[in-house]
Chain A
């Protein structure tokens, strides 16, 4: 297993958000967390990344216990986090945004260099001298993924990437996810757009009120009308 999450409990101040959440992500998989707004998807991702460390439980990444580690250390171990609200540094150019995400090769050769990234997202190449703050929503989404990708992560946490994007851009995004998967990047996705999520994932977890309510392959979930109706309002 590349990522093992074992019984984590996470709090915001006094309010208990995650209850004994456990999940696994295997090398090369695309796994999706489904659930409505406020169910605990983002908190799960933040807990894994160390941004909101869990009070109890463990997060094991590539065999290493990373619970309670500072986010930048987790990132340097090869985990990438793409936040829901994108967080493009508005004063920096597109290229400078990428530079921030670039960790330097540190001995090993980078799989993702600027040329490959720009080849992958040609639109960003055209915009490379524009300030991040002036990009459209879809362009920002590309940049935020590119910025994480250039740090050469083995696992990317993608938090609600389709939110607020036009259908055509969502479609393009799906293409990127498929390509990243082909390149061997493991992806943990969180989504509200069930149709989109199921189309691009191998396995799914359903989070509700901070509990994992369901887990299984996408094919199984597709057939389970009861679960879909109960938790996903589909």
Chain B
């Protein structure tokens, strides 16, 4: 079994007195494509917020390749190799699609302090940005103002921005939320394809069980303030505890 890229130990977090997590523990092996499921309000997004430094945990360790990143600043964590795409579209709306990716490419190579050289003339950045846009199928919209894109394309741009950071681990928060059925499967294939191509670790939150069980190597169920169960899709869908707490009788 490969080395764990992310290891969470005894993680606890409360907001204004109400506890969201109590002693969460799990480890994600390098290169895994896995998902997190759980009822609304179980704290799936909060978990991402803790891993990426948006919130500071009350207790516990978040070890990313051996470094404890709990409480670090987001930009620091990004620098170590964790990127995320957001549940609600979260891009730079009045910049073009290309600029959205370009600014991230520049950030990834720490070139932001170049005060005088025009960013438009840097061929390598452009090539890289176009390559990423092609990967997610947005290359032909490069010069559009990103805020005017359709919802599905904005979400894909969000993923493109995350990819531009060349992360070792990518967190995707409901990548198909608000998409039509065709768009959904398109996005699922995109995610799967990227995973196979880039060979990075991916962790995503998803509500659609067909998608979850369709592409995850492993599923973790977040419920009752902790990880209720983890296992292969097959194990999870037949886990009595999970059925009671979350899936219901239907599945």
In-complex A–B contact (CB below 8 Å): yes
CB–CB B178/A37 < 8 A: yes
The majority secondary structure among interface residues of chain B is: loop
CB–CB A233/B210 < 8 A: yes
The majority secondary structure among interface residues of chain A is: loop
Bound-complex Cα distance A208 to B180 (A): 8
- How near does chain A come to B93, taking the closest CB pair, in angstroms? 10
CB–CB A38/B181 < 8 A: no
**A208 neighbours in B (Cβ, 8 Å):** 180
Bound-complex Cα distance A15 to B248 (A): 36
Q: Does A202 contact B (CB under 8 A)?
A: no
We find that the number of chain A residues with CB closer than 8 angstroms to chain B is 17
CB–CB A36/B178 < 8 A: yes
CB–CB A137/B151 < 8 A: no
Q: Which of A29-87 contact B (CB under 8 A)?
A: 36-39
Evaluate whether A209 and B40 lie within 8 angstroms (CB atoms) in the complex, with A233-B208, A233-B210 already known: no
CB–CB B248/A195 < 8 A: yes
We find that the number of chain B residues with CB closer than 8 angstroms to chain A is 16
Q: Does B242 contact A (CB under 8 A)?
A: no
Contact with B250, one of A14, A163, A195, A209 (Cβ below 8 angstroms): A195
> Which chain A residue lies CB-closest to B18?
A136
Q: Which of B178-217 contact A (CB under 8 A)?
A: 178-181, 207-210
Bound-complex Cα distance A28 to B179 (A): 34
- How near does chain B come to A149, taking the closest CB pair, in angstroms? 24
Binding site for B on A (CB under 8 A): 14-15, 36-39, 137, 163-164, 167, 195, 208-209, 230-231, 233-234
Contacts A36-B178, A195-B248, A195-B250 known; list 11 others, CB within 8 Å.
A37-B207, A38-B151, A38-B179, A39-B178, A163-B40, A164-B41, A167-B248, A208-B180, A209-B180, A233-B209, A234-B250
